[in-house]
A and B are shown apart, each in its own frame.
Chain A
Amino acid sequence: MTKANSAIEVAGLDKSFGRTHALDGLDLEVRTGEVHGFLGPNGAGKSTTIRVLLGLLRADAGTAQLLGKDPWADAVELHRRLAYVPGDVTLWRNLSGGEVIDLYGRLRGGLDPARRAELIERFELDPTKKGRTYSKGNRQKVALVAAFASDVDLLILDEPTSGLDPLMEEVFQRCVREERERGRTVLLSSHILSEVEELCDRVSIIRKGRTVESGTLADLRHLTRTSVTAELVGPPNGLADLPGVHDVEVRGNRVGLQVDTDKLNAVLRSLTESGVRSLTSTPPTLEELFLRHYQDELEEAGAR
């Protein structure tokens, strides 16, 4: 049933904790060799999904396949081929960071010593410090170095950059790109939308344990609005009546509007009829995409 080109294939996943319905028919497909963004607000079920994929939780219903195998039954075999970075890394107080990196490396498929040394340098990590003396960001680096230096096919990163400074965020992004170039698959759960926008080939947006959107950023952008501002030669005419146009604002010869991306053509035609002096068109950011899916939730919460 699994397509050969899918590293992760999840369908109709259900998981409850007592009365809390954490996953409610979640679907997720990550293709081999891609960097896949996994987005959703707190409590949407991202970490629960990842823990099912790691065989730490057993799903109540639905199917999950990881590299063509069952994450619950074949956990150990699968874990040899994947590396995981949790969002909150806890270390043993009496083990140094270097010891933990080597331990995790050995417990996976092995570790490339040259790459380990290079990564420690790039992340500016002191491997001799002991567990409790690391700051949050440095604990993340320990897990990141261990993951990136491991010889694995799949990386599962659950909000891996929480606590990293912008310079280290940059290093992280470069490392993820290198992983993709080597043909590895990355599942990246994140709240940092610019990071996802920068790195991911495709994204899945989940909400309340269910996938609400999945596709390339280009696909998703088609589903949303582009904002257009223009300075015209003459007054605009009939713009507001065009299908898919919203929030038209006219000030003399200047006009600003929002348009459903697939209706952009008609708007441009109408603008050129009036003569265009200048034109800016901004595609929707991921942030806008994201917010649109949670708009009603925000409204419920009384925001805006």
Chain B
Amino acid sequence: MTATVTSAFTPRTGGSRQLAGTAALLRLALRRDRVLLPLWVGVIALMVVSMPGALETAYATPADRAELARQLLTNSSLRATYGPVFSDSLGGLVAWRIGVFAAVFAAIMSLLIVVRHTRDEEESGRQELLSSGMVGRRAPLTAALLAALVANGALALLITGGLAGQGASGALALGLGTAGVGMVFATMAAIVAQLTESARLAKGLTGGLLGAAFVLRAAGDSAEADGSSVLTWVSPVGWLEQLRAFAGERWWVLLLFVGAIAVQGAVAYELAGRRDVGMSFLPTRPGSATGRLGTPEALAWRLQRGSLLGWSLGFLAAGVAFGGITTGAADLVGDNARTREVIERMGGQAGLTDAFLAAMVGMLGMIAALYIVQSVLRLHVEETSQRAEPVLANAVGRVRWAGGHLAVAFGGSALIVVVGALGVAAGYGQDLGPVLGAGLVQLPAVWAIGGAAVLLYGALPKAAPAAWGVAGAVLIIGWIGPALELPDAVLNLSPFSHLPKLPGEAMSWPPVLILTAIGAGLVAAGLVGLRRRDMVS
């Protein structure tokens, strides 16, 4: 494979030496991301393209949809989450319902791609070796941005093609707008990656900027029903709705994307050309000369606490947002029989508010499954990066070493779910007890997923990353499974499908206890596997 990469490279002459090797680096990036990129693009596109079917099930007639749009216009908390609705056509409702989320996911994908192929490479020391070849100073950044462009271009193409049935120009606008937001954050990540020495920090900072952009748009949209707020115009996430896909497209808004991408790209290029490889513009602070860490548990906590704090804050914010739209959402579906039916099928029993709360807390539970997988797989990261080996060469048994990380993973998942539920209760303003109960009841399912991750890591270390697939499948089943009317046999594969839908439904202990036992059994089996196997070098 390396042979193909190197032979594809032909040195250029003249003034473009700064970009020498870009083609080879781009091929390397695409080769390394051959699984990751199609997965990201495919999932985001599927999310968008499956939306007309789901909405058509919920709002069958044009009259239903017109009524929905009318109510949406008057509901500021829903506008804050999804943005305003500009057209009651099916396409217009799709753009309203999923546009902001597709854009946010495209932005996350893009910033991860760019940091992964710039700062990550430098931090790991791999860039040094690459740059000792005929690779120009700005080639790595160019290749990373081109890789992001390839991903966003494919996304735009899939969205345009998949929604063309709702109107070609609207589909094109939604596709280009989604990709545009992606590229704005790709170039933003390119700047941030020049500023910090740590790839993790670069991802976190750019993610924070994305969160700020989302909040600005949400505030703007909650203030104005037609997206005319200055706050919406300031946020790149808001530009997508300004494009007015499926509602008399305003093509000139694309110039905003082009302008922002060009300016940010130019700044990143300027910085990249001026700085030393591996160095950054922000200095790193020295640490302590002595340490208090003395146990493997303390080390695990130290290594994972930053990530846990980030997840907790995210869950708190998401909880408050979910809680805030609960009243409006329940009012909204109140008059629509078909929607009521769907919402009830998705989780509710008596009382639409309870059903909505149950669905939102259930969503937090499924997202917590992503946290627990990430946290459990920190063991795998430590082992494959050879940091586990010297720790285990001390008086630390494998089970104790793993136990520290697992305590953070399993305890941390409980913490974020509780924090998220508290957020929901705070945003909704009542029902603290029932909402907290609804949160706690998610934990056995989260832990079962965590147990599956431990088993994969302990028994089949090479297949450990497949735990992401498990969590992803559960998320897809839970999120769009009911709307796609998947058969029960498939829905039942997810542990979350078996939980009592609190609040609203009666508490049912057997599934909770059985899932807890399954989780404990999987963890135990994983630890037995870990004790028996060779450590990977």
Q: Write the residues of chain A forming the contact surface with B, with a CB cutoff of 8 angstroms.
A: 47, 51, 54-58, 75-77, 79-80, 82-84, 86, 88-104, 106-109, 127-130, 132-133, 143, 156
Contacts and interface: CB of A to CB of B under 8 A. Distances in A.
Contacts of B534: 56-58
Contacts of B296: 107
Contact of B289 (A89, A90, A98): A98
Given A51-B389, A79-B392, 18 more contacts: A77-B395, A79-B396, A83-B393, A84-B390, A90-B386, A93-B123, A95-B287, A95-B293, A96-B291, A97-B287, A98-B287, A99-B290, A99-B292, A101-B291, A103-B299, A128-B286, A128-B287, A130-B287
A54 B400 CA distance: 16
A107 B299 CA distance: 11
Contact of A108 (B123, B289, B394): B394
Contact of B385 (A56, A57, A90, A94): A90
Contacts of A83: 393
A108 B296 CA distance: 11
Interface string B373-390: 000000000000111011
B120 to A, nearest CB: 12
A91 B387 contact: yes
* Across the A-B interface, the 7 shortest Cβ-Cβ residue pairs: A96-B287, A99-B291, A107-B394, A106-B294, A84-B393, A80-B395, A102-B291
Contacts of A103: 291, 293-294, 299
A96 B286 contact: yes
Chain B: interface residue count, which band?
A: 35 or more
B390 A86 contact: yes
Nearest to B198: A93
Given A100-B291, A106-B295, A51 B395 contact: no
B302 interface: yes
A86 B302 contact: no
B287 A107 contact: no
A79 B288 contact: no
B386 A88 contact: yes
A99 B396 contact: no
Contacts of B303: 92
A133 B285 CA distance: 11
Contacts of B292: 99, 102
B197 interface: yes
Interface residues of B, dominant DSSP: loop
Given A79-B396, A103-B294, A96 B289 contact: yes
B535 interface: yes
A107 B387 contact: no
A137 to B, nearest CB: 14
A133 to B, nearest CB: 6
A79 B294 contact: no
B290 A107 contact: no
A217 to B, nearest CB: 29
Contacts of A97: 287
A109 to B, nearest CB: 7
A127 B123 CA distance: 20
A51 B389 CA distance: 9
Contacts, number: 121
B132 interface: no
A103 B291 CA distance: 7
B402 to A, nearest CB: 13
A51 B386 contact: no
B397 A75 contact: yes
B288 A51 contact: no
A98 B123 CA distance: 21
B134 interface: no
B387 A56 contact: no
Interface string B461-479: 0000000000000000000
Interface string B496-525: 000000000000000000000000000000
Interface string B69-87: 0000000000000000000
B396 A54 contact: no
A75 B393 CA distance: 8
Contact of B288 (A54, A91, A96): A96
B30 interface: no
Interface in B192-241: 197-198, 200
Nearest to B537: A51
A128 B200 CA distance: 21
A100 B291 CA distance: 7
A127 B290 contact: yes
A133 B284 contact: yes
Contact of A95 (B291, B397, B535): B291
A100 B394 CA distance: 12
Contact of A98 (B288, B299, B393): B288
Interface in B298-317: 299, 302-303, 306
A86 B293 contact: no
B391 interface: yes
A56 B389 contact: yes
Nearest to A91: B387
A68 B200 CA distance: 45
A104 B390 contact: yes
A88 B400 CA distance: 24
A263 B365 CA distance: 81
B289 A128 contact: yes
